[in-house]
Chains A and B, each alone.
Chain A
Amino acid sequence: EAAVTQSPRSKVAVTGGKVTLSCHQTNNHDYMYWYRQDTGHGLRLIHYSYVADSTEKGDIPDGYKASRPSQENFSLILELASLSQTAVYFCASSDEISNERLFFGHGTKLSVL
């Protein structure tokens, strides 16, 4: 079973502060993703990556940066956190061998006050 670990599990941040969400996978997957979950919107793709040292913009990238320093690690960075970024964030990984199935982490609940 694929393992994707997110940290922290939850975080309270202040408006204007910097937040870094981390994701680590041990499955040798090439592809990693950051999704945001809001009630009524389902999951929306923020950033994704096909290979280390390269990231791509998803559907809602504004206000977020991503970093993929290695195949195993993928971070999501909020340089200036805002109230509207309060949400649950999910990291996921996949590769062609897994037939495009996403393996999700347990999520990070972010509250920006």
Chain B
Amino acid sequence: GEKVEQHESTLSVREGDSAVINCTYTDTASSYFPWYKQEAGKSLHFVIDIRSNVDRKQSQRLTVLLDKKAKRFSLHITATQPEDSAIYFCAAENYNQGKLIFGQGTKLSIKP
């Protein structure tokens, strides 16, 4: 079955710098790739997603890049702020299977 790997378990960047979180997946049939954010002590909420018919999607300070050949996708956060500190989970879905498979999570810390 599908496996999703997040390569960085922790990431620390200075406030105002950019952060990049990388994920890889194994199922070439996966077509939907969302990202979720979990702030300390809270539940997860959706932040941004990308579908396999495009290779880039931007929403304000967040950009997702998708490389289908390499089976890799990444979340780029520019001009980081303290409120960006959280655990970020990537996920992948094969439409025919209809379920999301999550990565292990990356804890992003924004240093002042």
Contacts and interface: CB of A to CB of B under 8 A. Distances in A.
A44 B102 contact: yes
Give the size category of B's interface with A. 20 to 34
Nearest to A41: B104
A35 B89 CA distance: 13
Contacts, number: 49
Contact of A59 (B1, B49, B98): B1
B2 to A, nearest CB: 9
Interface in B84-112: 89, 93, 98-105
Interface stretch (B12-20, B36-44, B52-60, B67-75): B36-44
Interface string A88-111: 001000000001111111110000
A99 B112 CA distance: 36
Interface of B, helix, strand, loop or mixed by DSSP:
strand
B45 interface: yes
A56 to B, nearest CB: 8
A103 B43 CA distance: 10
Contacts of A105: 43
B99 A42 contact: no
Nearest to A106: B43
Given A40-B104, A106-B43, A100 B1 contact: no
Contacts of B99: 33, 45, 48, 58
Contacts of A100: 32, 34, 49, 93, 100
A90 B104 contact: no
Contacts of B24: none
20 contacts: A33-B99, A35-B102, A41-B104, A42-B105, A43-B44, A43-B89, A44-B102, A45-B99, A45-B100, A48-B99, A90-B43, A90-B44, A99-B49, A100-B32, A101-B46, A101-B49, A103-B46, A104-B44, A104-B45, A106-B43
Top-8 shortest CB links A-B: A42-B104, A43-B102, A104-B43, A42-B102, A104-B44, A101-B46, A106-B43, A42-B105
Interface of B: 1, 6, 9, 32, 34, 36, 42-46, 49, 89, 93, 98-105
